[in-house]
Amino acid sequence: MNYDVLIIGGGLSGLTAASLLAKRGLSVAVIEKSVHPGGSCGAFRRGPVFFDQGAAMLYGFGKKGFNAHRFVFNCLEEPIDIIRHDLLYAVTFKGRRISFWADVDRFAAELAAVFPTEKDNIRRFYADMLKMYHHVLVERPSYTSADETDPKTALKSLLRHPLAASTLDEIAGGSWRRVIDDPDADPEQARRLILCSGKVYVDLVTSEMRGASPHVAIVRLEQLYPFPYEDMRPVFERYPHLDEVVWVQEEPQNMGAWDGVRSHLEEIIAGRWPLCYAGRPRRASPAEGSMTWHRATQAAIVERAFAGRRAGE
């Protein structure tokens, strides 16, 4: 085998470099052991100290889940060879070698032996990381590479919006959730429960009507399919004085999630409250074709969501 370039480690950084080199006409080989979670393909120096660098702490490599190779290969024009290498997937700290075992619990146990005072934090971190990758990557293996996203049509309004990011405390102490309840709602006052998913949530919570509507609770569905029955039922039970439930979306009624979630919500509600819809009416086109008209319609949807049946639902 004759190659122009050898890249050690098939993490996203290594594969991105490989893809750019391959697109320039070079013959590239990536040395990789994709069956194990994690890797080490380099070292950094900070003063007199060297640190091994873990390349790809992703769980469920290979056939089970997220595969960085497939992710990058989707947008490649030339082939790249993947070569297994058993020696690189480890870190060394103070003379102790810690292997990235396929058994995550075994890896966490070895790491905790090196840092005994952080034993509980290490176990919790890797347990949450495993859960997050399983929910986000294994259950729904669908990815969009950078060259498939048109920045002109992306959601620029959320690009640097504070509600589109998580704080370090949330990342360290929280985990991914299928359903996110309203942390500011008073269950005893809530009469209207708004359900939504995606960007429209930001429009709702940043509206002036939000502060003037203590009777409204806003709940986000982060997972639409499979429908999170077990997570949704406690939400409804938390609000004992509801008068109505409103599904809000910015897409037309024959698009978006409404047709998909309606039957599931009706099953959970079981006739206890009316289920209303707040969004654009059924249309052949998803967009108005005018920014002015779009903003006006978006404002009307938010107003209708807070007004509920009084707005004609």
Residue spans in the chain of domains classed CATH 3.40.50.11610 = 156-311
Task: Collapse the DSSP code of 65 into the 3-class scheme (helix H, G, I; strand E, B; otherwise coil) and give the result.
Answer: coil
The pLDDT score that the predictor gives to residue 57 is 37
- Bin 186: left if φ > 0, else alpha if -120 < ψ < 50, else beta: beta
Tokens 């006006």 -> residue: 296
The architecture that CATH gives domain 156-311 is 3-Layer(aba) Sandwich (3.40)
Which amino acid type is present at position 23? Answer: K
Task: Collapse the DSSP code of 99 into the 3-class scheme (helix H, G, I; strand E, B; otherwise coil) and give the result.
Answer: strand
The pLDDT score that the predictor gives to residue 133 is 66
Q: Using CA atoms, how far apart are residues 309 and 313, in angstroms rounded to an integer?
A: 5
Residuewise pLDDT in 10s, the chain (313 residues)? 688 888 877 666 677 778 778 877 888 888 765 544 444 444 444 455 443 344 333 333 344 444 455 555 555 555 555 555 556 667 777 788 887 776 778 888 888 888 888 888 888 887 877 777 666 655 665 545 444 555 555 556 666 667 766 666 666 666 678 899 998 899 999 999 999 998 899 999 989 899 889 999 999 998 898 899 999 999 999 999 999 999 999 999 998 899 999 999 999 999 999 999 999 999 888 777 788 888 899 999 999 999 865 444 4
Task: Collapse the DSSP code of 166 into the 3-class scheme (helix H, G, I; strand E, B; otherwise coil) and give the result.
Answer: coil
Residue 28 contacts by C-beta under 8 Å, 6 or more apart in sequence?
3, 4, 5, 6, 7, 18, 21, 22, 78, 80, 81
Q: Using CA atoms, how far apart are residues 75 and 70, in angstroms rounded to an integer?
A: 9
The pLDDT score that the predictor gives to residue 79 is 56
Report whether 3 contacts 28 (CB < 8 A): yes
Report whether 191 contacts 235 (CB < 8 A): no
Q: Using CA atoms, how far apart are residues 308 and 113, in angstroms rounded to an integer?
A: 57
The pLDDT score that the predictor gives to residue 56 is 39
The pLDDT score that the predictor gives to residue 137 is 57
The pLDDT score that the predictor gives to residue 272 is 92
**Chain centre to alpha carbon of residue 201:** 16
The pLDDT score that the predictor gives to residue 313 is 42
Element (H, E) at 291: helix 291-307
Give the global pTM. 0.56
Q: Using CA atoms, how far apart are residues 33 and 83, in angstroms rounded to an integer?
A: 7
Residue 175 contacts by C-beta under 8 Å, 6 or more apart in sequence?
128, 131, 132
